[in-house]
Structure 1
Amino acid sequence: MLELAAVSVVAAVLLFDLVTLEPDSLATALALTVLVVIAVAWMAATIVGLLRGQAWVRASAIVWQVLQFAIGLGALQGSFAQPAWGWPIVAVSVVTFAILFAPSVVKATQSRAARD
């Protein structure tokens, strides 16, 4: 839920910037904003599924952690590298990925039926 909150803040900032500032590339700014809003929706759906005890959520969370790791790794490279936020993203991804394979998490998410 903390990751959802963080990505929601990023989406809000991007939307605000899109409305109030003139981007160098409107197409790029729109694409980035849409991708982040899609990420918010994906994470929210995963959390709802988790609260309902659905089995697919672990796979969704694993895919998200892999993508988040790639984003963090990308932030550490190139001429516009941002290690101040790249390393925390990588660290959170690695820790969360490991947690997703903990026996208690696997057991809690292996049932195919929704829990009451």
Structure 2
Amino acid sequence: MGTNTPARIAAILVGLEGLALVALAVWQIVAIVQGDTGSIESALALLVLTAVGASALLAFAVAVFRGRSWGRSGGIVFQVLILAVALGATTGAYAHPLMALAIAVPAIAALVLLILAARDAGRAKGEASESS
């Protein structure tokens, strides 16, 4: 594996998560237009939050691909939040363990790859400072 490989794969996974949120936002728009919501105010607020999350994830994916540390940091935070959602999907009256697994597996993979990318970036920075 090349030194940029974990970062590139992590960028792809984070980007796919962002695209999944875009798809969710489109689904929410369809539900709003069709009147399939209990509260239009709550539906609009959820749509805005989903769009913000999608934008953030897509920005983090681009930043990770370009080797920016803020993208890795933001991506790591989002993976932890996604894992919290997955944990929530395993409990309660509407628990759905398979859905939780489907949410958690890509988040764990992305988290591991982001940590490896951060480690590689730290090593590369250390090597660059030693040679100057």
Q: Fold conserved (TM > 0.5)?
A: yes
Task: Report the RMSD for the aligned CA atoms in angstroms.
Answer: 1.9
Distance (whole Å) between structure 2 residues aligned to residue 63 and residue 23 of structure 1: 30
Please name the residue that 2:6 is paired with.
Answer: none
Please name the residue that 1:82 is paired with.
Answer: 96
1:94 aligns with 2:112: no
Shift of 1:48: 2.3
- The gaps in structure 1 that reach 5 residues or longer are 112-116
Q: How does 1:58-69 map to 2 (within 5 A)?
A: 58-69=72-83
Q: TM-score, normalised by structure 2?
A: 0.72
Which portions of structure 1, spanning 4 or more consecutive aligned residues, are displaced by more than 6 angstroms? none
User: What residue identity is the alignment partner of 2:102?
Assistant: P
Q: How many residues align?
A: 109
* Bigger Rg, which one: 2
Please name the residue that 2:37 is paired with.
Answer: 23
Greater fraction helix = 2
Distance (whole Å) between structure 2 residues aligned to residue 77 and residue 49 of structure 1: 34
Distance (whole Å) between structure 1 residues aligned to residue 115 and residue 69 of structure 2: 13
Shifted more, 60-69 versus 83-92: the winner is 83-92
- The gaps in structure 2 that reach 5 residues or longer are 1-14, 126-132
Distance (whole Å) between structure 2 residues aligned to residue 2 and residue 90 of structure 1: 14
Shifted more, 36-45 versus 80-89: the winner is 80-89
Distance (whole Å) between structure 2 residues aligned to residue 40 and residue 62 of structure 1: 15
Distance (whole Å) between structure 1 residues aligned to residue 110 and residue 65 of structure 2: 17
Mark the CA change 1:26 to 1:11 in structure 2 (over 3 Å): closer, same or farther. same
Shifted more, 43-52 versus 55-64: the winner is 43-52
Shifted more, 14-23 versus 67-76: the winner is 14-23
1:49 aligns with 2:75: no
